[in-house]
Amino acid sequence: MDNVLNFKQGRVPLLISMPHAGLRLTPAVQAGLIPEAQSLPDTDWHIPTLYDFAEELGASTLAAEYSRFVIDLNRPSDDTPLYAGATTGLYPSILFDGVPLFREGLAPSREERATYLEQIWMPYHRTLQDELARLKAEFGYALLFDAHSIRSVIPHLFDGKLPDFNLGTFNNAACDPGLASQLEAICAAHPQYTHVLNGRFKGGHITRHYGNPAQNIHAVQLELCQSTYMEEFEPFRYREDLAGPTRGVLKQLLEGFLAWGQKRYC
């Protein structure tokens, strides 16, 4: 497989990861999806566009090209569940709404999925690991921001409406508690949005695996409600009128992330 990821190296100690932004499908996955899944409804829509100010900040960016319906890059390679209760795995078998993702008997084979692990999951994680190592070697520390988005109401996964900004630090195991508090304060300065720290989404595999404050690597996941920047249902239209103010808060979060690192380590 070619073009499995899009990586751009930056000039500051920050990497923005976008593991669920991909839209490509393999032939086996395309052939097996139920009609309701053909529009890829569980995608983290428009995330590269939403964060396109990253180059201006000097941040490195890493974005998936293949859909999470092929393989979920934010799950461990052994498919250990991340959350108790309803969730999706390394090879998703259901939509977020709980219905089967594939028509009966048409899920990809074990051999095909092994290929996805080797040729899609592993290159993404090698790139992520190598870039964090490069940043730490150059700056003495590395900052990882795992960027996600999700529909604001999904009864199968959580009750009620999700807060707009869902920060996850794996209960502060993935980053310094002071950093988490600073990011919370930035969100609180924008009362038009709701926010929570380590609520329903505490950080997926990427945040949990790579965040290591003792080794000067600090990781934060943001699960952003799609209602803050787009239409949540097909055709999933990007709404600049909504996205503009949201992008302003995102930029402040990342600027605050960088400022915290500079103050702490420089």
Q: Name the residue ranges covered by the structural domains of the chain.
A: 5-265
| Domain at 5-265, CATH homologous superfamily | Zn-dependent exopeptidases (3.40.630.40)
The number of beta carbons lying within 10 Å of the beta carbon of residue 36 is: 13
Q: Is 146 helix (H, G, I), strand (E, B) or coil?
A: strand
In angstroms, the CA 207 to CA 74 distance is 9
DSSP 207: H
pTM of the prediction? 0.95
Going residue by residue through the chain, which has 266 residues, state the pLDDT in tens, using 9 for 90 and above.
Answer: 789 999 999 999 999 999 999 999 999 999 999 999 999 999 999 999 999 999 999 999 999 999 999 999 999 998 776 665 556 789 999 999 999 999 999 999 999 999 999 999 999 999 999 999 999 999 999 999 999 999 999 998 899 999 999 999 999 999 999 999 999 999 999 999 999 999 999 999 999 999 999 999 999 999 999 999 999 999 999 999 999 999 999 999 999 999 999 999 98
- Determine contact, residues 83/63, Cβ cutoff 8 Å: no
Q: Is 89 helix (H, G, I), strand (E, B) or coil?
A: coil
Kindly give the residue spans of alpha helices, DSSP state H, lying in 117-201.
Answer: 122-139, 177-188
Tokens of 194: 């709701």
Tokens of 266: 């420089």
In angstroms, the CA 71 to CA 20 distance is 10
